[in-house]
Every structure is written in C-alpha cells, then in structure tokens.
Structure 1
Amino acid sequence: MRFTTLIKHPADWMAGGTDDQCAVLTSRIRLARNLRNHPFPGWAKREQRAAALDLMRPAVEALPAMKDAFSQELGDLSSVQKQVLVERHLISREHAARGDGSGAVIERRQTFSLMLNEEDHLRMQAIRPGLQLSAAFEALSALDTELEESLEFAFDPTLGYLTTCPTNLGTGLRASAMLHLPGLVLSDQIGQVLQAVNKIGLAVRGLYGEGTESLGNLYQISNQSTLGESEETIIRRLERVISQVSQHERNAREKLLEDDPEMVADKIGRAYGVLRHAHIIDSKEALNHLSLLRLGANLGFFSDDTVMLCDSLLMDIQPAHLQLHSGRKLSPEERDSIRAEIVRSRLQSLGSPDNRVITEEGEKTPDTSNPGNA
C-alpha cells in the first residue's frame, strides 16, 4: 500500500459521533517486545538494527490482519510524511526522529500500527473508537500470539517481557484513552480530577503523549506500572477510572448548562463565529474553538454529525497534514491562512447554533428527541 492510499481516508477510529464518544474519543493498547539474543535498539550497531528489521518486517507483513498493509522503512519517508503519521498517532515522535534501521507496518484501516526498532524492537498498538480498551487488548493480544510463532521474544519467567525502559517491564503493556474534557475545564474542576487520577498511579498527558501539552481540552490517561499485575487487571482498573472521569465530565456539562447557560451559549457561539469567518488561525486557537464546537454538538446546539466533522478537522488542520495537502513546505503564516480556509470551507453548510437548547430561564430544554438543528 502506498502512503497516499493510507492517508486518503480517515481511520476507522476517527469516525466518532456516538454517545459513548461524548468524552472518550479513542482507546489505545500498546505492547512493547524485544527479540531474544539481539541487542536492544538503543545499544545495537547499525548492522544489528538492520538485521533485526530484516527479521521482524517479513513476520509482521505475513500476519493475516496486516494483509495489504502499509510497510515502509522510515529512512524512505520524508519528514512531512513521518510527521503526518505522528499526528495520526500511528508512530511516536521518537520513532519519527529515527531513520535507517527503523520501520513501520500499518494496517490499512489504521486500527493496528507496529513500530519496528523504536525504543524497543517492537512497539505494537491497537486503536479503537470510544472506551474499548478490552476489545483493543484482545485484538492486539491475538496479533502478539501469532507473532510469537515466528519471532522469539526476550522473556524472563520472573520479570516477564524484557524492555528497554524499566517502566515497561513485565507485561510491556501501555493502555490509554484520549478524553475530551471541556466541561471540567470550563467549570475549573479539571485540576482536581486530574490530581485524583495521578494519586492512584495513573499518568495524564497531552495530545501527543509524554512531554506534550493539552490542546483542544484533550487529555490522555494511561497506566504507569506494568510489573506485578496481569494485563486484565491493569485494563479493568483503567476502564473503571476513565468511566468515572467521563461521568464527571457529563455532570459538569449538565451543571454548566443549568447554572450558566448564557456563558455556555456565548462560548459556543464565539467559537462558531471565529471558525466560520477567520482568515488566519493558528493550530492552538483552532483546536480550542473546535473543542467548543464539538461540545456544542454534544449538548444539542448543532446536529450530531457535527461531532464527526470536528473530529476529522482536528486531524486535518495539523501542520504536517496541511503541508501534505498543499504538496509543499509551508511557512507558519501560510499554514495559518490555509488552515482557516479549510475550516471555513468544511463549516460552510453548518448553520448557526440552535439556542433553543436553553430556555429564557436558563434551564436545559427537556425535549432531547432531536438534539440537532430543527
């Protein structure tokens, strides 16, 4: 599969639009594995990395689930192409910085992505829409089992799977969910909730993982420990916490609409106005306004399909996607102009917010049979 074919259509997990995805956009499971009797990538010489790649890549491509997959050495991709894969959460920023001796094999629907010679020999991930950590794990575990028939992984009976970073030792599992939490942010509850999540041993990160900031009110919540617990135990605990955070978000949205409906309507209306009419907009501002537009769709100010529109725009207005769309390297000023043009074009048919969601008394309209525009 060619790169252009891979990115031509949105990934299955980017479809969005269900009630379950009101707060939880995606679930991701990642497994770290290393080859037995091979130096780990960070300590391997160039020829050793190449040998490991030559061993792993055919084995991954032969998996039934990876039929017609995109498979490429990173050294053969341009910097923009690699950054597009980062923006789609298909490879890590660290992997994109690597070149010779590293590769990626990505399933055609982008539900599976395998990084070869990243920090570990194999970083395998499965992504699903909404809160589906268990389903994602089952799918990736089956893939992992199939790979073990052709590849021998570094495993210790006491410690479990051996990994480059001690935090991944044991199961090698990193489970995470991407959450959209504008209600908690607007009600100033986000700090309290995230602090509680940290206290029980879970990590909270920004849009692109460790070391990145939260943009568009998007947060990643993941496990930190992988040693001494089964994969099922880790996932059950994470699903329970994410469900609780999601419920807090729903409650915050309802209370905002009850207590201060004019403020909610004002923020959603301003976001709509800027996005529909701006001719220059940077990435951060666009993401924050799209977050409010998505919130408006969830609350009934816009039709349900607006959620899917926002989710696709969240990806398509990223810097590398813009450059790929334009077919050339863009200056920051050019990106801001093209970004605004794309947003205006996509939102051209979107009508103004339906403020009948709120009554003159500031209460939420009880009839939710048709939450979209009348």
Structure 2
Amino acid sequence: MGIKKTVNSARSGWMGAGAPEGDIVVSSRIRIARNLHGYSFPHLLDREKAEQVIHAVQLALENGELVKQAGILEMNRMAELSPVERQILVEKHLISPNLLEEHEKKAVALRDDELVSIMVNEEDHLRIQCLLPGLQLEKAWEMADKIDDGLEKTLDYAFSSKYGYLTACPTNAGTGLRASVMLHLPGLVLVDQIRGVLASISKLGFTVRGLYGEGTEALGNLFQLSNQVTLGHSEEEIISSLNSITGQLLAREREARKALLQQRREQLADRVGRSYGTLMHAHMMSSEEAMRRISDVRLGVDLQMITGIAPEQLTELMVMTRPAYLLKQAQGDLSPAQRDNMRANIIRSKLNQR
C-alpha cells in the first residue's frame, strides 16, 4: 500500500482480532539479524558502502522468488521520509528507534500488510522482522525464515562454521534470532507482583523491556519479553523456551486478575469505570495518562466489565495518541496544550465508533 499510506494510518496488520491468547499477548515478533560478507558492520560503514548494502538488499528483494511469494516488500530510504514519518514507523513497531540514528545510511522494506519489515543498516545489515497478533511465535518464525532463505539465495551472508551467523553484538551471534512477545500485564502490576516476576524471568536467560524495546519504559502496563542469547541454541529451542515462559506469565497474570475480581472487585470496577469515563469525556489528555487509561479500559474489556469495544480498537488508539502520529494528522506544529486537546478528541471519536 506504499509508505505514505503506512505513515498516515494507525492501523496495522499485527493488531488483528481474535488472535491466540489475545487477552494478554498483544503481539509476537521474530527478528533475524544478518550481515553481508565483505562489509564492515553498519556503525563503521561510510555513506557509499551503506548505499551498496541497500542496493544489494533491494536487488535480492526484487529477484528472489521465495521473497516474492512472501508478499510485496517495498524498499524505502529513511532519508526520503520526514522526521515525523520516521517516528511514526517506530510508534507502529515497524522499525526500531536505532534506525532513526544516522538515517541517511539506512532503509526499510515493508510488506503491504505491515506484518513483515526488513531494516537495512540498523545494528546489523539486515534485521528481518515478522510481527503477528497474539501468541504466534511459530508462525512468525516460519514467515521470517522463508524470507531469510529467499534472500540468502542472492546475498552472501557473513557466517562462521564455529559461531554461526556473525552479528555486530555478540549476544546475537549464532542463529541471529530474537523472539519476543508484547504482554499486557495490568493484573500483576495492580497486585504488586510485577517486579518479583520480572526479576525471576531475568534469571532464566530472558529480558524484559519497555514498549519500544531496549532502553524504553513500560507504558500502559505493556512489557516486551525476549530471549537474551542466541549462540548455542537452535531457533526451535529459543521459541520453545519463550513459549514456555510466556505460558507461565499468562497463568500468573490470569491468577492476578482472578484475585482482583474476587477480593477487590469494587475497587477494580471503579478504576476501570473512571478511566473509561475520562477517555469518553476528557478534553485534555497527556500521552502518559492516555496509555494508563487505555490500559485500564482494556483490562475492563478483557474481564467483560465493559462491552462494545474491541481490544484491537484500543491497540490502535495507543498508536493514534502518540506524539508523531498527532503531528502528522495536524500537518503542522502543535503546542503541548494543542496536542493534549487533539489526543482527547481522537480518543472520544474512536470510542464512540460503536
């Protein structure tokens, strides 16, 4: 559908309805890191060499039969996009914040439905990403693996018989696979168990990050859980382990929600109701408050305290209320007060679309 339509729409394919474990797992992501033999890692590339990498990937996309079967992937140079448009791609989770740095040397290829993106010259020459709604790690891996195989028929990957695929960061060497799930965990936050649970997970070789990955905060009770190390583990082992840990987290979150309903039902109903009322009637709303209120309402929807609102509607709102998307819709600068007013107006309009 083209990059311009992508940056003008908050909706994305990974926000689909009826996904497995969709009441807690917002999305599943598989990311494969690859580098081209004979080229320095991206942080050492000059503009000319970086352009050669982009051109090589573009040719592989155009000529690879397996890649074509996986869907149309359009190459877009980051320098051709405005700062706001680049930030919207981050807000939609289609690229990482890293791709914004030294953007003149970087590019992204997107599939029409936005389920697949390939970042070029991020930390590695290629970051192949597949993002699906709910808990679908195996399916995401199958899609990403097919594209990787197609590209490898044309591109000469940097590979060692001893260390596997070579990457800029040693923790990604081996399979180059990073699997992650985005989880909505308000129950564990409200019963004050989240810190203990996350500390236990880190001891098992997994890491928990915020909404937009490394170095970001967990807005709206959203957490990204992923594997820490790829070397010495097969893709199947990594995905199986993450599925297992995710299953345990799902059980803990559901126990927390059950306890809230049994022991603090009126307080929970009051919290959900107040947030719903605020979203429906407020005329000023900060970004942080919007994420917090949307999280409360989503919990209310999942617990059937609120009806008539689809969870994917709320996921879309989380993108629609972010700063860059608001600036794009306004087609100009906004003062903080104007931004808060526009955010509240968008929320009210969206929630009234029943």
Contact (CA 8 Å) 2:70, 2:143: kept in 1 or not?
A: no
User: Cα 1:325–1:140, aligned 2, differ >3 Å: closer, same or farther?
Assistant: same
Structure 1 residue 180 and structure 2 residue 184: aligned? yes
Relative to the length of structure 1, the TM-score reads 0.90
> Deviations for 1:64-107, whole angstroms, at most 9, x for unmatched residues?
14644332111111000000000011111110223223110000
1:100 aligned counterpart, secondary structure: helix
User: What secondary structure is seen at the aligned counterpart in 1 of 2:217?
Assistant: coil
AA aligned to 1:269 is G
Equivalent position to 2:300, from 296, 316, 319: 296
Contact kept? 2:10, 2:92, Cα under 8 Å: no
Hey, what does 1:99 align to over in structure 2?
103
The counterpart of 2:262, out of the listed 258, 261, 269, is 258
1:124-152 deviations in Å (ceiling 9; x for gaps): 10011111111101110111011110001
Partner of 2:103, secondary structure, is coil
**Aligned AA (2:241):** R
8 Å CA contact retained: 1:15, 1:311:
no
Measured in 1, the distance between the counterparts of 2:148 and 2:13 equals 21
Instruction: Identify the residue that residue 6 of structure 1 maps to in structure 2.
Output: 6
Residue aligned with 2:310, SS: helix
CA contact (8 A) 1:205 1:221 kept: yes
The answer to which of 51-60 and 72-81 deviates more is: 51-60
Is contact 2:2-2:112 (8 Å) kept? Answer: no
Instruction: Pick the aligned partner of 2:87 from 72, 83, 86.
Output: 83
Aligned ranges 1:298-313 → 2 under 5 Å: 298-303=302-307, 305-313=309-317
Show CA shifts across 1:228-265 (max 9, x none). Answer: 11111011001100111011111110110001111110
Matches of 1:188 and 1:341, distance apart in 2:
33
* 1:1-374 alignment, distance < 5 Å: 1-7=1-7, 8=9, 10-18=11-19, 20-62=21-63, 63-65=67-69, 67-303=71-307, 305-348=309-352
CA drift at 1:56: 1.1
SS in 2 for 1:216: helix
In the alignment, the residues of structure 1 paired with residue 120 and residue 226 of structure 2 have an alpha-carbon distance, to the nearest angstrom, of: 22
**Gapped regions of structure 2 (runs ≥ 5):** none
Offset of 1:42 from its aligned partner? 1.2
Distance 2:112 2:70 in 1: 8
Q: Which has the higher contact order (CA 8 A, sep 6+)?
A: 2
Task: Please give the TM-score of this superposition, normalised by the length of structure 2.
Answer: 0.95
Paired letter, 1:64? K
Aligned amino acid, residue 68 of structure 2: P
CA distance in 2 between partners of 1:98 and 1:201 (Å): 31
Aligned residues: CA RMSD: 1.5
d(CA) in 1 for partners of 2:234, 2:185: 29
Query: Is this contact kept in 2: 1:65–1:107, CA < 8 A?
Result: no
| Distance (whole Å) between structure 1 residues aligned to residue 331 and residue 18 of structure 2 | 30
Contact 1:206 1:219 in 2 (8 A): yes
Amino acid paired to 1:253:
R
Work out the number of aligned pairs and report it: 350
The amino acid that maps onto 1:169 is A
Which stretch of structure 1 is more off in the superposition, 224-233 or 60-69? Answer: 60-69
Return the alpha-carbon distance in structure 2 between the equivalents of residues 333 and 146 of structure 1. 49
2-structure distance, mates of 1:331, 1:57: 40
Look up the equivalent residue of 2:40 and give its one-letter code.
Answer: P
Work out whether residues 16 and 25 of structure 1, in 8 Å CA contact, stay in contact via their aligned partners in 2: no
Unpaired stretches in structure 1, ≥5 consecutive residues: 351-374
Letter in structure 2 aligned against 1:341: N
| Distance of 1:157 and 1:247 partners within structure 2 | 40
Letter of the 1:35 counterpart: L
Q: Report if the CA contact (8 A) 1:61-1:67 is conserved.
A: no
Which has the larger Rg?
1
Paired letter, 2:93: H
Amino acid at match of 1:4: K
Cα deviation per residue 1:36-71 (whole Å; 9 max; x = unaligned)? Answer: 111221112221111111111221244214644332
- Residue 367 of structure 1 corresponds to none
